Structure 1
């Protein structure tokens, strides 16, 4: 199966959660910070164990606050990243659980975290295998990623994952445009580590595109 590159730092500052349960918000912030520390601070081949532990923490948080779309989104993000670190057939169960969590978030509030569930779910659809192995679908990915951009047209993550998808479709000009938009996205308060890591990934994709054009 395609190795998941997930994912996702669909990270907003705490004021975006106004009106939600304060304990759920605290859990979201903790999951965000720990995810970024693992994703961008731990060597790739050593991420599986801490991501497994973090996924269990996310499961417990959702069990306590099952009506929180933000926690459901972050559970999906963490499970997706864990699947990428685990790899192989064992990752298929994890990506299925991630999809379910993100779909539940969409039912509760499709606009939560500026449409991050659409971005995360869209990324899953173009990165996992299609039927009969899994649920991957490039057309579904485009639909979801486009919805995410409708909600958050200038977001760093919505543009990054749309660009990554376009590269998989060999649309390098469209990908370059989306990546340049992503680079212009404003920094997110409290998300400095995630922003730095994502910007490095953006630059790497831009280099890949230039390599395609020069080859």
Structure 2
């Protein structure tokens, strides 16, 4: 398999962490979707990463779809419960974490791609409000548990850790650790795992 992505994308990092935890072999192909010479639309018509090129040459897109598929390839390190409420909970927590990223990425694009005189503070505030609300919910759902499903790591924990890790990377001035110490504790714990140490974002 080939994973097409960047070292800065939190969605790509989520997939890379899952592949490491599942002990799956793959080739990591770097792609800058913002470069004029990008070829990403040859594998993803939406022009986004990650994209997973499988052995038969077909491509899978969207990190949530990719990681769900990867979890079926081997029973090693099962990350998504098979059925019922626990499965739905894990996917819901992942969706909230991804939603926080979607909002924060819009803020970054507003500040980096749009001329200063055209930037909208109300738009930025609206998106950061989603970030705050999402983190508040994720913190409340985690509570004082070591992981989202109690005593073992799941995709929910990986998704949340990738989210807050990217916030620290791209928004170092944004203090999420003080109001949400349980998320900080989860992040620091997962950051000690080889899968996270080997995928720390860098530009």
- Give the TM-score, by structure 2 length: 0.39
- Determine which structure has the larger strand proportion and give its number: 2
- Determine which structure has the larger helix proportion and give its number: 1
- Indicate the structure whose relative CO is greater, using CA pairs within 8 Å and at least 6 residues apart: 2
**Which protein shows a greater Rg?**
2
- Give the TM-score, by structure 1 length: 0.38
